[in-house]
């Protein structure tokens, strides 16, 4: 048999015929590849499916085909089509979500594939993502193969970064039962209808939840200060809001430059951040050089105070959240007195929340502060949105269940980040929703959502003006163009 003809000629002849497309033939073959399938026929299936070019252009691309074949052979035959799509570079923006979905449906059968992806350094996003999926399999089903792989990487000396990731994920898997026990204690305290029991639980949870998730935070830094004021009650205010920015990328610098331009034309009284202030794992300490290079140089030059909130990335380094609170003592531009806190500015009261670790203590505090507030407007901001039009994400069920009931009839505006784009959703009760996570991190693809009113895959930020009559919200892109504008009235 002329293999060259079979490899190139048959592929070409299939294209444009009425008997089926090359992709259909490739998918048919891919679904039937077994562990012992010769490498050539795996290549053929990949080429026919259109996942990789039929003609290998270089020795490097040939090596990639061989590696892809070896990776796919770690999957059961019925999952290989999904595996091909995950390995396809054209699906980079959706491959992580697809891998997670495949693990949920395939269970431990996907474990060898995940291990091989880590060993080949071919994981969607990064090796931490695949390691986290393996740790979840250990925690949920006692996956011995996943545990063995994590222990192998944690004990290896040739790759310190992977060893650190694996150690963290083993810790996460081994503390999962304690996290479940903590959740059970919360349910019991809530069911008891005993306020004292709920507050005792809240104090315990606030101490242990960061530790059980691999972070640490000194308990004495948790209590927020009493309500304070940053602008007189009779003043109109104007502030800027953005999140997901702390990476010193060119995109961040462009956004920061546009914020400065607008500020110079019509000054902001202050700013707020929506979390993920430092990528990839928060700040190392209060003397981390990035405070000067990534924060002060870009945002300190505005000459206004910022009142930040924490994102999930700000908790990934065990000391980062504490460093971000303590840095407030040595900066005029960065003012975050605790992980959650409240203050007034003009006719509005602001509530900065920590949704990365939304504790019962925080919710009890928020309920009390909302009830005590006499402000005309109540503006809440945090990292995580309730709803999402990002392609790889869904609505946040935890926030919808635990936080939304407190806010929908009490607050007027909720501003979030986390999704690297700009979004606006239909109000719930009196509560309006804005997402301004376009501060500089890589942008996320978007999807249609039933509650969406506006969406844009672009870098940008929010500008908000508040007086006694209304709240005016603008979403502005990195070129200074206003993409969305709305006025909230009482």
DSSP secondary structure string for all residues of 253-270: HHHHHHHHHHHHHS--SE
Residue ending a domain, choose from 41, 64, 87: 87
Instruction: Give the three-class secondary structure for 230.
Output: strand
3-state secondary structure of 307: strand
In a domain, 213, yes or no: no
CATH number of domain containing 482: 3.60.21.10
Domain assignment of residue 348, yes or no:
yes
- In 144-279, where do the E strands start and end? 228-231, 237-242, 270-273
Domain match, 313 and 459 both:
yes
User: Does residue 223 share a domain with residue 83?
Assistant: no
**Considering the domain boundaries, does residue 200 fall inside one?**
no
Asked if residues 464 and 238 have their Cβ atoms less than 8 Å apart, the reply is yes
- pLDDT of the residue at 311: 97
Q: Is residue 281 part of a domain?
A: yes
> How many domains does the chain divide into?
2
Q: Where does a domain end: 87, 119, 148?
A: 87
On whether residue 253 sits in a domain, the answer given is yes
User: Is residue 48, in this structure, part of any structural domain at all?
Assistant: yes
The whole-angstrom separation of Cα 48 and Cα 55 is 11
pLDDT of res. 75: 95
Measure the CA angle with vertex 101, ends 95 and 107; round to 5°: 125
This prediction has a pTM of: 0.81
Q: What local confidence, expressed as pLDDT, does residue 27 receive?
A: 47
Domain encompassing residue 268: 219-489
Domain boundary among 87, 112, 143: 87
* All residues at 6 or more sequence positions from 1 whose CB lies less than 8 Å from its CB, including other chains: none
Residues 78 and 226 grouped into a single domain: no
The reply to whether 129 falls in a domain is no
Q: Is residue 158 part of a domain?
A: no
What confidence score (pLDDT) does residue 12 get?
34
Question: What is the mean pLDDT for each group of 10 consecutive residues in the chain (490 residues)?
Answer: 34 36 44 47 49 55 84 94 92 88 95 96 92 95 96 93 93 93 91 91 90 87 96 97 97 98 98 97 95 97 98 93 97 98 98 96 97 97 97 93 97 98 97 98 91 97 97 98 95
């Amino acid at each position: 048999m002329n293999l060259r003809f079979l490899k190139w000629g048959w592929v070409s002849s299939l294209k444009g015929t009425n008997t089926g497309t090359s992709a259909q033939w490739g998918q048919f073959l891919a679904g039937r590849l077994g562990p012992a399938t010769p490498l050539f026929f795996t290549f053929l299936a990949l080429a026919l499916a259109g996942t990789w070019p039929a003609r290998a252009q270089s020795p490097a691309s040939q090596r990639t085909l061989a590696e892809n074949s070896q990776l796919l052979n770690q999957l059961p035959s019925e999952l290989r089509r999904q595996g091909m799509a995950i390995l396809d570079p054209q699906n980079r923006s959706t491959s992580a979500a697809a891998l997670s979905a495949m693990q949920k449906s395939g269970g431990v059968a996907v474990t060898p594939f995940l291990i091989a992806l880590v060993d080949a350094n071919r994981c969607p996003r990064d090796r931490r993502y695949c390691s986290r999926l393996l740790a979840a399999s250990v925690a949920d089903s006692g996956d011995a193969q996943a545990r063995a792989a994590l222990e192998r990487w944690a004990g290896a000396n040739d790759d310190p970064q992977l060893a650190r990731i694996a150690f963290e994920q083993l810790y996460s898997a081994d503390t999962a039962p304690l996290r479940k026990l903590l959740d059970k204690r919360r349910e019991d305290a809530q069911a008891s209808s005993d306020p004292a029991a709920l507050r005792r639980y809240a104090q315990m949870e606030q101490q242990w939840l960061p530790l059980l998730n691999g972070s640490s935070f000194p308990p004495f830094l948790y209590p927020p200060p009493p309500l304070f004021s940053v602008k007189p009650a009779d003043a109109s205010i104007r502030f800027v809001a953005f999140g997901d920015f702390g990476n010193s990328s060119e995109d961040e610098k462009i956004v920061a430059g546009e914020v400065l331009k607008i500020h110079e034309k019509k000054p902001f009284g202050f700013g707020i951040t929506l979390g993920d202030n430092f990528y990839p794992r928060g700040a190392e300490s209060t003397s981390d050089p990035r405070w000067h290079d990534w924060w002060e140089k870009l945002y300190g030059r505005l000459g206004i105070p910022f009142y930040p909130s924490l994102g999930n990335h700000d908790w990934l380094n065990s000391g980062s959240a504490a460093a971000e609170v303590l840095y407030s003592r040595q900066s005029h531009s960065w003012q975050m007195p605790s992980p959650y806190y409240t203050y007034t500015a003009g006719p509005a009261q602001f509530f900065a929340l920590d949704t990365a670790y939304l504790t019962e203590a925080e919710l009890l505090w928020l309920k009390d502060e909302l009830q005590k507030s006499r402000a005309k407007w109540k503006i809440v901001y945090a990292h995580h949105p309730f709803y999402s039009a990002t392609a790889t994400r869904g609505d946040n069920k935890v926030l919808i269940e635990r936080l939304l009931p407190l806010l929908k009839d009490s607050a007027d505006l909720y501003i979030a980040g986390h999704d690297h784009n700009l979004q606006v959703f239909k109000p719930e009760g009196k509560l309006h929703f804005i997402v301004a996570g376009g501060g500089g991190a890589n942008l996320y693809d978007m999807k249609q959502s039933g509650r969406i009113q506006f969406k844009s895959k672009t870098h940008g930020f929010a500008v908000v003006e508040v007086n006694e009559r209304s709240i005016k919200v603008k979403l502005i892109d990195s070129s200074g163009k206003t993409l969305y504008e709305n006025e909230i009235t009482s």
